[in-house]
Chains A and B, each alone.
Chain A
Amino acid sequence: MSYVLVVAEVRRGIFEERNLDSIGLCALLGKDAILLIPEGDYGMNEQLVNGLVRVKTEEALFLNPLNMVNILEKVMAARGKPDMIVFTNSASGIELASYAAGHFNLPVITDVNGYDKERGIFFKSYYSDKIFGEFRPSGEGTFIITVRSGSFKENAAGKGSAPPAEAIEDVAANAARTFVEYVEEEKTDVDITKAEFLLSLGRGIGNKDEIPDYEELAGLLKAVISGSRPVIDKLWLPKARQVGTSGKTVKPKVYLAMGISGAFQHIAGMKDSSCIIAVNKDPEAPIFQYAHYGIIADIHKVRDALKGILKG
């Protein structure tokens, strides 16, 4: 029986919403989705899938790529090889998918954001989302996909009945890599998720010395400063100010993005803002696709002009 194996991403008892994109892709392909998930109450809608394989193991063991390949071996021994194995395109999803691809010598396409059913083609972003590549496996047989969050979830639909469940037991824990603990981010006094108006800075600001001038602008506008990953990586702004998948998800009334090109991981963290205004000198910057208003100009000149008017 042909099927797609969907490896669930679960973390601290939560069934991550991006799993719906993996399930949605199966629906789009017209294939049975069999969900691989650790045993436990994850409170998900099981009717979205055609079957479940519950693994009798702890979550942390399940999320370890060294153990996942053993689990996959057991699944394939019991059910036969799937047409495709789908993971989320997340910190753990890509880690598991790439290790499994190497272990089983399987083709892998990561960060898939679209599928053309007629041509059997997967779309994958390249060059900071400015180009998409149309990819497909070269040969027949099982292949591995990771799915970009938000790409296919609308295709996931209930089947109207509870799916059959199987169990996998006796999963050996590989001692070469072991979970120690979770580390939470330090609490700070500024919570950018509470701000109504964010002035968000990106790589385009050029260097750290420009920050005080933007802080002055934020003060005049009564906006809170946030930033994209490159600005945080370079330590120009503290980690608590980061917007994006590895930082905070924000939904302010106004998100004013200056010098942010709009990497997918950033967009995912701010796309639900009520009003997005982007200022960037590159008219091709992906952020203009998501913004409501745009100014194509040198951001420092816009900053200085705004300050001039506000100080009027």
Chain B
Amino acid sequence: MNLIVFTKRVPATQEEELRITGEGKAVDLSKVPFKVNDWDNYSIEEAVRIVEKSGGAVTAVSIGDAESDEVLRRSIAMGAKDGFLIETGDVLHDPNARATLMQNFLKKENVPFDAIFTGVQSEDDQFGAVGGILAAKLGLPFVSMVIGIDATESDHLIVRRELEGGLQERVKVMLPCVVSIQTGINEPRYVSIMGVRKASKVERKVFKAAGYQENVVNKIEVVKWVYPPKKAGATILSGELDGMCKELLGILKEKGVYQ
């Protein structure tokens, strides 16, 4: 089975203080470290496991600037055969624009595939819409929130979708298709620095995004970036560590959960 997996390099903003600049025009990410999108890491792992079991090849594709080569090297270190970079300096906030660029690329370069994997969403924009738009544009069946692939047959997959409250839905989807992978579907393998170094010897192809711009337009626009409205917020305990911990235990006693 030949699988195309889209992977994205994203800012790791979890523990970073973010600053809006230019009166809402931009978010300053210059001091933020970048990493592979968590969801894409699980997607690559899932794809590699499938080809390790039943043959075929994984092609990792990333849209981004030259730095995005990092996530392609990583994918190859995990077991992808090829790494393609669709190089652009544009951020592409609109999932329609991103999906259309993908569609144009796949069509023009005629990359063969039985299934396309994307992450359910990317950590930075949290849109969760690219996989679905791409599937519809390609006229392919689509399944999102996939937390398990139970069977890979020659003409279909049996997958499990994660719903709310611990419930899952088992679905049969015909090939070729687009599948959006949820975190937790597997345990992604460890990637060593040595592994990435070795992978960098495998040639990655670079395609200029300028060549695939047909109908790539922003259907939505970002007017401005703002900080979320502040709620009342927590009473922050202060002082020495021991003092704060004693205060915390006092609260637990007061609430009746600790004697």
Contacts and interface: CB of A to CB of B under 8 A. Distances in A.
B13 A253 contact: no
The 3 closest A-B pairs by CB, nearest first: A98-B132, A102-B136, A102-B133
Q: Please tell me the size bucket of the interface on A.
A: 35 or more
A231 to B, nearest CB: 10
A281 B164 contact: no
B53 interface: no
Interface string B32-48: 00000000000000000
Given A98-B130, A182-B170, A288 B234 contact: yes
Contacts of B27: 126-127, 131
Interface residues of B, number: 89
Contacts of B184: 229, 232-233
Q: Chain B CB within 10 Å — which of A102, A133, A248 has the most?
A: A102
B23 to A, nearest CB: 12
30 contacts: A65-B142, A91-B164, A99-B135, A101-B132, A101-B133, A101-B136, A102-B133, A110-B95, A131-B20, A131-B225, A132-B227, A133-B225, A177-B143, A181-B169, A182-B168, A183-B167, A221-B257, A242-B166, A245-B165, A246-B162, A247-B165, A254-B255, A278-B234, A281-B15, A283-B17, A288-B234, A290-B231, A294-B234, A308-B242, A309-B246
A137 B142 contact: no
A135 B184 CA distance: 31
Nearest to A303: B245
Contact of B127 (A110, A229, A246, A293): A110
B213 interface: no
Interface of A: 11, 65-66, 69, 90-92, 94-95, 97-103, 105-111, 119, 121, 123-139, 143, 174-185, 196-197, 203, 221-223, 229-230, 232-235, 239, 242, 245-249, 252-254, 256, 261, 274-278, 281-286, 288-297, 301-302, 305-306, 308-310
Contacts of A119: 223
B129 A177 contact: no
A302 B245 contact: yes
Interface string B216-232: 01111111111110110
A309 B220 contact: no
Contact of A125 (B126, B133, B252): B126
A177 B258 contact: no
Contacts of A230: 183
A66 to B, nearest CB: 6
B171 to A, nearest CB: 6
A108 B219 CA distance: 8
A116 to B, nearest CB: 10
Interface in B167-224: 167-174, 177, 180, 183-184, 187, 217-224
Contacts of A125: 126, 228
Nearest to B42: A233
A259 to B, nearest CB: 10
Nearest to B259: A222
Q: Tell me if B's interface is mostly helix, strand, loop or mixed.
A: mixed
Contact of B129 (A105, A110, A234): A110
Interface of B: 11, 13-18, 20, 24, 27, 93-96, 99, 123-137, 140-145, 158, 160-174, 177, 180, 183-184, 187, 217-228, 230-231, 233-237, 241-242, 244-246, 248-249, 251-252, 255-258
Contacts of A277: 248, 251
A170 B16 CA distance: 53
Given A90-B163, A136-B220, A293-B234, 11 more contacts: A66-B141, A95-B144, A101-B132, A102-B96, A107-B220, A110-B127, A133-B93, A176-B141, A184-B166, A185-B167, A302-B245
A176 B135 CA distance: 12
A175 B172 CA distance: 9
B222 A239 contact: no
B15 to A, nearest CB: 5
A10 to B, nearest CB: 12
